[in-house]
Structure 1
């Protein structure tokens, strides 16, 4: 019987904080409970914000917590070819299209729409859905703009992708860390609209990279924060249209800051390095997290 595979996948664009510690430790606890494996993945597709210094800090902080992981560590920036292959498949099947509207143009379209009193639809994170204007461009015009060097992003044609589905999408969600019970959750990818799948300069996005990585690494159990619960819907759609395996999921509680919001890497007082420098120990961190 194949051992379950878990993964902790931080981005090296800032210092790890208490929320990351909870996620890493929860992955370790659940992997141990299931006699499974724990992988560490460095999600560094954002080449402008991710740095070797922050990556080194991840290793230091996790080692300080007493966590171990399998080698080698997968670094996304070393595997753009894998994501490019998936993107090309979506292009061949006409499930993505180049979108040229700038953020300013999108905002202007939404302001004009809402000036008439009608609310613009939002995704589960509260961001306005993409207008989809570029979906109606002629192929010749798309090629002309790309050849001219116009900036663009590849967006998923959510309507076309949904039309390929033979049955409704679901995923298995564990109801507790002990994995004693699970629910079948109905995916609702349509609520995200035409999400960005890749950019001209980077052949991927978080959504595409994560489903490709999980499949290539044989991840069977995705354990991550509740803030990514709704993102599972769009990732389930990508898994389905790309023919990728479907992990089981557990979305754990979030660690909240004084303002009641989830922790951010900008809140340096909750950073593990700062806590360590202030005399905290791995045991006191676990106590802070209720572990």
Structure 2
């Protein structure tokens, strides 16, 4: 606790620039920001633009201006994954030198025919790495972990023990590798993000162990869904949050996170809402569910959503 009070807490928000921020993005960003600031910590923003085919021109600047308009002001400089390629390659080669990686020629179609889980078929083939996917040997898998919101989390054993891809056949670095290297490089101690990333967490934890680095504490907030199993996302064209009127969305996001915002906040300035939220933040009040359904409110101008339904 003393480390937290001294400002040693380092959190981050890491959006992909595939479109503007929507309500689900705001929930994750706000939770991450408030948890960091309530512990007198640092809050960093990282643009995860490693998947270049999905990057939308101008989205990074729009995301940053939206965060600024919502009073979510970041510490230190913005990191862009696209500027870190040499850094990633150096650490990839370190794993090669330790014989922890291998080339894989299996296609998605072949793996799908196996039931969707790769069977480590290429591990002993010693294939050349040119034009092949690169997988890591999952010799010390993590099967379960304690989440600060979701409590005890267990994942499918087949998923946790699969040798997964860390560099794609097209030469792009995979998310699992770069997110861990970035967190290590930036000294991240706490990761607050959406519950859609619960399962990949075990792979990331195992990779922290491979690099012999401390594993951050994880907290996964519920997903905002339009209907059960259908999360709001840029891929399904969730509407962008209003950059000109942040108060309403901030109020709804605080409701979503179980923080019981007082109605008077709707008349406060953004900075005052954020100050109230920091001083009243309680991560234990966040519903311990993986998704919450949003029911649109057509009548009440004080709430964007009529109800929040835990699924």
Q: Decide: shared fold, TM above 0.5.
A: yes
Instruction: Give me the whole-angstrom Cα distance separating, in 1, the residues matched to 2:218 and 2:238.
Output: 30
The counterpart of 2:60, out of the listed 55, 61, 66, is: 55
Instruction: Give the structure with the higher percent strand.
Output: 2
Instruction: Give the structure with the higher percent helix.
Output: 1
The counterpart of 1:152, out of the listed 132, 151, 172, is: 132
The counterpart of 1:233, out of the listed 197, 202, 205, is: 202
Partner of 1:174: 148
Number of residue pairs matched? 249
Instruction: Give me the whole-angstrom Cα distance separating, in 1, the residues matched to 2:229 and 2:123.
Output: 39
Residues 203, 266 of structure 1: alpha-carbon distance in 2 compared, 3 angstrom cutoff: closer
Structure 1 residue ranges without an equivalent (≥5)? 111-119, 121-127, 177-182
Instruction: Give me the whole-angstrom Cα distance separating, in 1, the residues matched to 2:96 and 2:183.
Output: 21
Instruction: Give me the whole-angstrom Cα distance separating, in 1, the residues matched to 2:46 and 2:30.
Output: 15
Instruction: Give me the whole-angstrom Cα distance separating, in 2, the residues matched to 1:134 and 1:56.
Output: 42
- 1:41, CA displacement in angstroms? 0.3
Q: Which has the higher contact order (CA 8 A, sep 6+)?
A: 1
- 1:65, CA displacement in angstroms? 1.3
- 1:71, CA displacement in angstroms? 3.3
Partner of 2:294: none
Partner of 1:21: 26
The counterpart of 1:132, out of the listed 88, 107, 120, is: 120
Please give the per-residue CA displacement for 1:123-178, whole angstroms capped at 9, x wherever unaligned.
Answer: xxxxx1113222242x3xx13xx4xx5x31111222xx22xx8xx776553238xx
Partner of 2:252: 288
- 1:260, CA displacement in angstroms? 4.5
Equivalent pair of 2:51/2:172 in contact (CA under 8 Å): no
Partner of 1:197: 166
Residues 191, 266 of structure 1: alpha-carbon distance in 2 compared, 3 angstrom cutoff: closer
Instruction: Give me the whole-angstrom Cα distance separating, in 2, the residues matched to 1:76 and 1:202.
Output: 15
| SS, match of residue 188 in structure 2 | coil
Equivalent pair of 2:232/2:238 in contact (CA under 8 Å): no
| SS, match of residue 192 in structure 2 | strand
Task: Find runs of 4+ consecutive structure 1 residues off by over 3 angstroms.
Answer: 168-172, 183-190, 200-203, 266-269
Instruction: Determine if the alignment matches structure 1 residue 97 to structure 2 residue 102.
Output: yes
Partner of 1:180: none
Residues 155, 102 of structure 1: alpha-carbon distance in 2 compared, 3 angstrom cutoff: same
Partner of 1:253: 222
Instruction: Give me the whole-angstrom Cα distance separating, in 2, the residues matched to 1:199 and 1:268.
Output: 26
Instruction: Give me the whole-angstrom Cα distance separating, in 2, the residues matched to 1:285 and 1:18.
Output: 7
What is the root-mean-square deviation in Å for CA atoms of aligned residues? 2.5
